[in-house]
A = this chain, B = another copy of it.
Amino acid sequence: MKAFNDLADFSTEEIQGLLELANRLDERPEPEALKGKVLSLLFLSPSLRTLASFQAAMTRLGGGSFVISPDMSIHGLETRPGIVMDGTAAEHIREAVPVIASYGDAIGIRAFAERKNLENDMAENEFNALTQLIPDTPYINMESAMGHPCQNLADWKTLDDYSIPANGGKFVLSWAYHPKALPLAVPASTLYTAARRGMDVTVLRPEGFELPDAVMQKAKEAAASAGGAVVETDDRAEAMEGAHVIYAKSWSSTRHYGDRLADQKLREGHLDWCVDEPWFANAQDDCRFMHCLPVRRGVVVSEPVLDGPRSIVIHEARNRMLAQMAVLHQMLGATT
């Protein structure tokens, strides 16, 4: 495995192989599998679960990791191409990335979307510019402009763990209010993941927050192959009818992408998009609540839902570690 960048790069058998490996490593630890192996971790964007779970994953497999992020006492990092570096930044990512990669057997990179121009973010121009600097080392996408495959694999495992049906299971991906315009990485890749798993997926969002056409199209094709379906609506009752799981997440307005004020004006008309118990009126009785975290209490989801039996967010977060252990185990060629 030279890269773990997008679940779309893997066959369903490969994905299921990773999920089985994740379960096996949870039940039967392999503390010598990656003995002496190093994972380089480059965080150009903030993190908690990813930061902690990758370090824990490497330790559990007998290896180790190191973290570099711009908030450390390093030399300021320049990212702009072709620049004369006579300002504050003393190091260019054109050196920093290959050097950091060269110390590891694999490198994980996190770089959120710029959220200025939708086409640019959809093209993954920034993330691709980073990975193109790595000549030989396998890399892991720890969240880019449009992708978050480690979260996706953990979410797939979570759906399996709770025996939520693949074919015939109803998955609602719901927009929620949040004071900031957040990236599309989680909603776009989560939609694909649920469709790829063969579920009946409904994207529930207010007008102006439609997911990009290419994102919808990619998910619909995955659903068609896997025996599921993808629809979208702004009607909450329709969306939630018979739902097995609601996955809440806020994201930027695609109508006003990169226009902070217009986005803010539009989203502030939807303060009531906070997932609460009445949303579940016509869902399955045991309909679950998922979220990638961090989540704003009382804003994205009510406290009773988040703290109640529907919520499986802590289990979901722990699965990050297990999913990543499986990826690292395969990528770094553990012998078992």
| Chain A residues packing against B (C-beta within 8 Å) | 29-32, 35-38, 40, 43, 45-49, 51-53, 55-56, 58-66, 68-75, 78, 82-86, 90-92, 94-96, 98-100, 102-104, 179, 293-299, 303, 306-307, 313-314, 317-318, 321
Contacts and interface: CB of A to CB of B under 8 A. Distances in A.
Nearest to A96: B48
Given A61-B36, A298-B84, A314-B95, A51 B31 contact: no
Nearest to A63: B59
Contacts of A100: 48, 52
Nearest to A317: B99
A68 B85 contact: no
A204 to B, nearest CB: 22
A103 B66 CA distance: 17
A76 to B, nearest CB: 9
Contact of A52 (B29, B56, B66, B303): B66
B55 A99 contact: no
Contacts of A85: 296-299
B102 A299 contact: no
A32 B29 contact: no
B47 A36 contact: no
A71 B40 CA distance: 21
A96 B31 CA distance: 26
Contacts of A36: 29-32, 59-62
Nearest to A316: B99
